[in-house]
A and B are shown apart, each in its own frame.
Chain A
Amino acid sequence: MTPPDPQPRVPRTWKKPPFIANPFIRYGIFIVAAIYLVWAFGSLPFNWARISEGLPRAARIFSGGFPPSFERFGLLLTGFKESFQIAILATLLGVLLSIPFAVMAARNIAPLPIYLIGRSVIIISRSFHPVIVAILFVAAVGFGPLAGILTLTLYSIGFVGKLLAEEIEEIDWGQVEAMRAAGAGYIATLYYAVFPQILPRQVGLSMYQLDSNLRASAVVGIVGAGGIGGTLMNAFGRYDYDFAFAILLIIIAVILLSEGISGWVRKKIW
């Protein structure tokens, strides 16, 4: 089969138009990326002598960890109970407290100075990983679940507060105007025109936050803020690997379960 209309022509060429038109920028990005990788790898302090011991250690850890030991089941249960309590109380406090902060951080209903305060509280509590907050609370109020509750409360305020503030900024403004026209005060307007619009979302967020607090409560214990994380840290510290692996397995199981339940509930509500 010959192509139709065969005429002798100059060879036509085609090259894929490059993703970035300017060749300097195109190659520049590659070079900068390569230099960065070399520099970053070169500047990081790797302790190769210690790392080379890694494989035999890994073998020892895993052979020590299998089979996982559920002998101290009571200790495990106590740790989980505490994690669970921390998560419940922190979610309750966090979700309740997130409402005033969200109102403060919503540009459409808060005066500017209040808005700035509300925003910065939310930004700050979102910038810090809960573990860092936990270590500070442990320093302030001592070891134990209290530090964990405070940490996760702040964590919940940051997360729920931000989403809620965005939700408030997108409400149907007509209802607010209607309430104001009816002569309602600020609080009454909030109560009748704003809260009903954000409430369904708040319930879903609370479920989500309970799930994510349960996950986080397993971690804040590592720095002494109570719950199963502390038990895990202790097991690791005492080279008690079979117990540590048992804890890890249960943590994974609980997280999967709670993710499933929280997803199911949110689907039911929305």
Chain B
Amino acid sequence: MLEITNLVKRYGHNEAVLKGLDLKVEDNSVVSIVGASGAGKSTMLRCINRLVEPTSGSIKLNGAELVNVKGAELRRARRKIGMVFQGFNLLDRLTVMENVLAGRLGYVNLYQAISRRYPQADIERAFTLMERVGIAHYANKRADELSGGERQRVGVVRALMQEPDLLLADEPTASLDPRTSEQIMILLQSLASELSLPVLINIHNVAQAKTYTERIVGLRHGKMIFDGQPADFNKDALDAIYGGIEAPDETVSEQPHRSAEVERHDSA
């Protein structure tokens, strides 16, 4: 279970990006976080695995505090949190298998890592997961030779290799074409239920959030302004979250026009 209490993040002396967030995620649930660019979605996700240092507040994963851990303890905490990135963030010049095994870097020692002598169990797990997402035949291909959807599958498998207690996905479909991004969302949804893994997905595409996740959290200006079932996520909620931000070339006062704009964007 993930428990975030009163999370604040401020860069320098600027206005805070996150202004006291509270969020509880039960095990085995897929939560999507929606919000306009700059609403603090990415910052919130990165505070959880501490790629971004929170200013104050508390984040507990299965009862263990994440905010104050340092050094080796932080790395032990991170290896239980998988992350999938918008830009895939693969090691382009290495093979798919090396990318996947890199998910075990928090577990193996430095010699094993550099000589690529991973334990047999890790290699079996890698093959099993790669077969599950359909990229096993690419094991010895260089990562930059794959297509976007395949690359994101490598990213997902790498995160799952960590045997995570929590999976974070930062705009996992934003760099993909609509068809492929549907496939990745379906994959994330089904993997979450197979592995009974809580998943947090930052997502731009409200239609996908409604279809593939069981709970939607809406952020605006660093504050949570919606938390509920996809069924309850109506036009009002949409306006509250994106109102006046999402379509900067439209005039803010023209309410109906803007909603239409958002809907067109969603169905794309």
Contact = CB atoms under 8 A, between A and B. Distances in A.
A4 B195 contact: yes
Interface in B182-210: 191, 194-197
A5 B128 contact: yes
A9 B98 CA distance: 22
B175 interface: no
Interface in A170-187: none
A9 B116 CA distance: 23
Name B's interface SS: helix
Contact of A16 (B116, B195, B196): B116
A4 B124 CA distance: 12
A132 to B, nearest CB: 41
Interface in A1-32: 1, 3-6, 9, 11-17
B222 to A, nearest CB: 33
Interface string B85-108: 000000000010110000000000
B128 A14 contact: no
B19 interface: no
B195 A1 contact: yes
Contact of A13 (B120, B132, B191): B120
B158 to A, nearest CB: 15
Interface string B117-148: 00010011111110110000001100000000
B227 interface: no
Interface residues of A, number: 13
Contacts of A16: 95, 97-98, 116
A17 B140 contact: yes
Nearest to A4: B194
A211 to B, nearest CB: 36
B147 to A, nearest CB: 21
Contacts of A3: 125, 128-129
B95 A17 contact: yes
Contacts of B197: 1
B123 A12 contact: yes
A14 B194 CA distance: 26
Contacts, number: 37
A6 B132 CA distance: 11
B120 A5 contact: no
Name A's interface SS: loop
A12 B127 contact: yes
Given A16-B98, A17-B95, A4 B128 contact: yes
B66 to A, nearest CB: 20
A6 B131 CA distance: 12
B124 A11 contact: yes
A136 B201 CA distance: 73
A13 B124 CA distance: 7
B53 interface: no
A39 to B, nearest CB: 29
Contacts of A11: 120, 124
Contacts of B127: 12, 14
A188 B139 CA distance: 63
A12 to B, nearest CB: 5
A9 B126 CA distance: 14
B163 interface: yes
A221 to B, nearest CB: 47
A226 B156 CA distance: 67
Contacts of A12: 123-124, 127
A4 B123 CA distance: 15
Contacts of A4: 128-129, 132, 191, 194-195
Interface string A48-60: 0000000000000
B139 A14 contact: yes
Contact of A5 (B95, B132, B163): B132
B195 A13 contact: no
20 contacts: A1-B195, A1-B197, A3-B125, A3-B129, A4-B129, A4-B132, A4-B194, A4-B195, A5-B131, A5-B132, A6-B128, A11-B124, A12-B123, A12-B124, A14-B126, A14-B139, A15-B116, A16-B116, A17-B95, A17-B140
Interface of B: 95, 97-98, 116, 120, 123-129, 131-132, 139-140, 163, 191, 194-197
Given A1-B195, A4-B129, A14-B123, 19 more contacts: A1-B196, A3-B125, A3-B128, A4-B128, A4-B132, A4-B194, A5-B128, A5-B131, A6-B128, A11-B120, A12-B123, A12-B124, A13-B120, A14-B97, A14-B126, A15-B116, A16-B97, A16-B116, A17-B95
Interface of A: 1, 3-6, 9, 11-17
8 closest residue pairs by CB, A with B: A16-B116, A3-B128, A4-B194, A12-B127, A14-B123, A17-B140, A4-B132, A3-B125
